[in-house]
Amino acid sequence: MAQEVRGVVAPGRNEPVRVETIVVPEPGPGEAVVQVQACGVCHTDLHYKQGGISDDYPFLLGHEAAGVVEAVGSGVTDVAPGDFVVLNWRAVCGQCRACKRGRPWYCFDTHNAEQKMTLKSDGRQLEPALGIGAFAEKTLVAAGQCTKVDPSVSPAVAGLLGCGVMAGIGAAINTGQVTRGDSVAVIGCGGVGDAAIAGARLAGAARIIAVDIDERKLATAEKIGATHTVNSSTADPVEAIRELTGGFGADVVIEAVGRPETYKQAFYARDLAGTVVLVGVPTPEMTLELPLLDVFGRGGSLKSSWYGDCLPSRDFPMLIDLHTQGRLDLGAFVTETINLDEVEKAFERMHAGDVLRSVVML
């Protein structure tokens, strides 16, 4: 039977979000209904609300979530009711060229639940943020979006892996392939950059240089594992990074802002044989001009990182285990826990740079 639950809806461009009654259908073939326990507030939710992603309102927001599977539809074998799961953006197909080559993070046939949740008030279909929609007591997803993890971890912590924290850790360990002894520079120390710092530390980086324009962010970055900090509003970050790496530049530079000037800094701050990892997402009108001789003359590699190039079934349980063993402090990313009706205020705090993550508890 379909169920009615409370959920946070973005009704239209730049309108405040509202808690509404939403109707969650019974899971169809390949689908699951998840009882959401925690869901982090991410910039992408704000972009949905502001119209930066599309105009397919109304949106059901929330996409960094963990919870318990309540029911599954026919054909679902990987998860069962009662499983504690972390949700991811899309289920991969397992059949396309990318999947068959063992690189499912490049899958070009990903999918979400086929059925739609609806607004009780007028029956309109809801577009779930990143195919999840988890600022809601229950949500409907494709079963392949659910990854089982150790249920002893707190849901607020587990849910973080659903987006920004995984993107950052993955940028370091999957895309950047940071290894023991490396020097790593991270430009932009918000949630994603800080997670990249945590990832670099986990991988055994010897030097981790945090770069930001905000002293508060640099202080947090140090707590998370940065060994050096550079305030790029007062110092040239490329020079500072070179100085801190014996004149060479960092082995791996991770850009976690998404702006032309920081892309450029990342390009020049790497060692000639180093790797630049781009995880900050630019906007469509942004461009970058570089002397071709520099593009040609510098070796190494330039990689973009999509969702931390993660493989949820491999990476979510592993990172939860490391957290549980005390080797990775995911709890450091949870600044506050809030209720469903406080999401609008959490957006303001996020915009002001006051929080790493506000997490809605359900």
Contact positions vs Zn ion (CB under 5 A): 42, 44, 92-93, 96, 99, 107, 109, 163
Distance CA 96, CA 106 (A): 9
Determine which residue in the list 114, 150, 261, 354 makes contact with ligand APR, applying CB under 6 A. Answer: 261
The stretch near ligand APR (CB under 6 A) out of 99-107, 118-126, 257-265, 337-345 is 257-265
Q: How far is the CB of 128 from ligand APR (least distance, A)?
A: 19
d(CA 299, CA 286): 24
- CA angle in degrees (0–180, nearest 5) for 318-157-104: 45
Q: Does 170 bind ligand APR (CB under 6 A)?
A: no
Sketch the per residue contact string, 192 through 231, with ligand APR: x for CB under 6 A, - otherwise: xx-----------------xxxx--x--------------
Between residues 93 and 213, which has the closer beta carbon with respect to Zn ion? 93
Residue found by looking up tokens 């493989």 in the block: 311
What interhelical angle do 260-269 and 237-244 show, nearest 10? Answer: 20
Which of ligand APR, Zn ion, none lies near 361, with the C-beta cut-off 5 to 8 A by kind? none
Q: Is 281 in the site for ligand APR (CB under 6 A)?
A: yes
Cα–Cα distance for residue pair 205/199, rounded to 1 Å: 9
Q: Which lies closer to ligand APR via its Cβ, residue 109 or residue 222?
A: 222
Site string for ligand APR, 308-347 (x = CB under 6 A): ----------------------------------------
C-alpha angle 136-140-142 in degrees, rounded to nearest 5 = 140
Residue 166 touching ligand APR (CB under 6 A): no
Which residues have a Cβ under 8 Å from the Cβ of 312 and sit 6 or more positions away?
86, 88, 147
Among residues 258, 264, 318, 361, which is the contact residue for ligand APR, using CB under 6 A?
258
Q: How far is CA 360 from CA 7, 37, 244, 337, in A?
A: 11, 8, 40, 6
Q: Which stretch binds ligand APR (CB under 6 A): 116-124, 139-147, 174-182, 273-281?
A: 273-281
The verdict on whether omega for the bond into residue 58 sits within 30 degrees of 0, i.e. cis, is yes
